[in-house]
Structure 1
Amino acid sequence: MWEDLFDREVDERSVQFVRPADTDRPTWAVYEGGNYLGTVNAQPTGDTVMWRSQTTRESHRQLDDAIRALRRPPSWPREREQVSQWARRRLDDDSLIALDVETTGLQNAFAVQIAAVARGGTVVFNEYVNPDADIEPGAAAVHGITPERLASAPAFGEVLPALTDVLHGRTVLAYNMPFDRDVLERELVRHQGPVAAGQWLARCRWEDVMEPYAVWKGLWSVKRGAYRNQRLGGSHDAVADCRALLAKTEQMAAPAPPSHW
């Protein structure tokens, strides 16, 4: 299904693929603007194809991601090691806790589920919340939380004392932290006012895992001039997503094999 010679746009920049003349295997040399980036080959795995880069020794589900890996700047190994050090410092923090909030939608959202999980995987907080607001159909399709399920759930103000006990004085990890923090701030403003909301949030140390994980993965977008953000990969249940967040942090903290690069 793939030609010996074909072009493909990756992040709005043309990439050329050339199969070497001495093989009929699914292997292509990759060029961009006349410059050789590396070599990729297609490896069928069941009903899918994994794209393996002979240059980076990595496999990717998407061909575009294999190209983004080939485009990494020379500074990436150093930046990745900095991220690993950051992750190890976070995991050495005894106050560390992972937080996830499922919401009514993406814009001006309110909470429908809030969970917090300690590093060992212990669930220290998990509450469904009646948002007193409409749940967008798209959001319900993702997390499966419906208005009927929340009909008898407590309001945010009722779970706030327990949430305060869990989070205050802790280092709080979140994935796309500004979004979850904004949801909590919106709830706090609604129940306590803006001044009290700011004071409440200031009693936590907030850390975002999404940007460090993007650097750790190292898929460079020439369009954005930055590493592409990655999906968390959780099930959109707040507890499961907290555990996925901690697993990604532990993955980043592990040292890379000496020969990996």
Structure 2
Amino acid sequence: MAKKYVILDTETTGVGENDRVIQLGYVVLGAKDVEVHNEFYSSDVPISFGAMEVHGITPDMLENKPACRDSVAYKRLCELNVSENYMIIHNAPFDLGMLEKEGFNTQMKVIDTLRVAKHILPDEDAHRLQYFRYKMALYKDEQKEADALGVVVKAHDAIGDVLVLKLLLTKLREAVSAAYPSENPVEKMVDLTNTPILVKSFRFGKYKGKTLQEVAASDAGYLRWMLTSMENLDEDMRYSINNALGA
């Protein structure tokens, strides 16, 4: 069976534990064919005003829509969910976590373009999708990409972010090929997704701008305090602090 690449984005009622998927947009790239799926869903969970501010989806847009797991797009995603295929998402843990609430547990190889970008482009001011949309001038090619896929992009549409993500993926693949010329760039992106990111310097707090190595030399106790006392410390920072203390 030919490999397929699923480039996906969700919109949700919010970012909390009880929030749910209200839009699923994805493009499936095969050897010879392209599929586009883009659907709104009803939900028992009300959309938070903060979420509306981000994606512009209002309750009236969801009236008479199916639940996510009853939809054509969701059922097709389940059919595609095999280990030969690839799932490409920007900040994959969020979207996959939301899809898990609908009963979807990915069997695909995952490429998280956010993590790949942090590895390959560590010195960027930000790694958000919209940041790269402007920094890399991806917006200039969006309409051409939409026309090629036969997609009509409307305001507040998940498929619009999918198009940007598809363009970003091309740029990241080129950067990965340049950095690792002897390796398959797609497999390397899967590998980078699962590799801890070495954070070099603080972007917050009293040591903002200082490298972890500098702080390890001058105030190792602060780093040890972070490890033991900061419950929300992400795994990459934990890995990086341990690395700095070990070095």
Q: TM-score scaled to structure 2, two decimals? A: 0.53
SS at match of 1:187: coil
Task: State the match for 1:239 in structure 2.
Answer: 159
Aligned partners of 1:97 and 1:173 also within 8 Å: yes
How far has the Cα of 1:219 moved from its partner?
Answer: 1.7
- Output the CA distance in 1 between the equivalents of 2:43 and 2:3: 32
Percent identity, aligned pairs only?
A: 28
Q: C-alpha separation between the residues in 1 aligned to 2:169 and 2:116?
A: 9
1: CA distance, partners of 2:174 / 2:13: 35
What amino acid is the match of 1:147?
Answer: P
User: Is 1:102 equivalent to 2:11 in the alignment?
Assistant: yes
- What residue is the counterpart of 2:76 in the other structure? 162
- For these two proteins, the number of residue pairs brought into alignment is 148
In structure 2, the residue matched to 1:212 is: 116
Classify the secondary structure of the residue corresponding to 2:8.
Answer: strand
In 2 relative to 1, CA 218–202 (structure 1 residues): closer, same or farther, beyond 3 Å? closer
Give runs of aligned pairs for residues 105-184 of structure 1, distance below 5 A. 105-108=14-17, 109-119=19-29, 122-159=34-71, 160-169=74-83, 170-184=85-99
What secondary structure is seen at the aligned counterpart in 1 of 2:169? helix
Distance 1:123 1:239, change over 3 A: farther
* Bigger share in strand: 1
Report deviation, 1:124: 2.5
| Paired letter, 2:28 | A
- Over alpha carbons, which structure has the higher Rg? 1
- In terms of fraction of residues, the more helix-rich structure is 2
Conservation of the 8 A alpha-carbon contact between 1:119 and 1:246: no
Mapping 1:2-151, distance limit 5 Å? 94-108=3-17, 109-119=19-29, 122-151=34-63
Deviations 1:109-135 (A, max 9, x none): 210100111348944321111122110
Q: Which residue of 2 aligns with 1:230?
A: 127
Alignment CA distance shift 1:135-1:102 (3 Å): same
The CA RMSD over aligned residues, in Å, is 2.8
Q: Which amino acid aligns with 2:43?
A: P
Alpha-carbon separation, structure 1, partners of 2:50 and 2:76 = 30
Match of 2:228 in 1: none
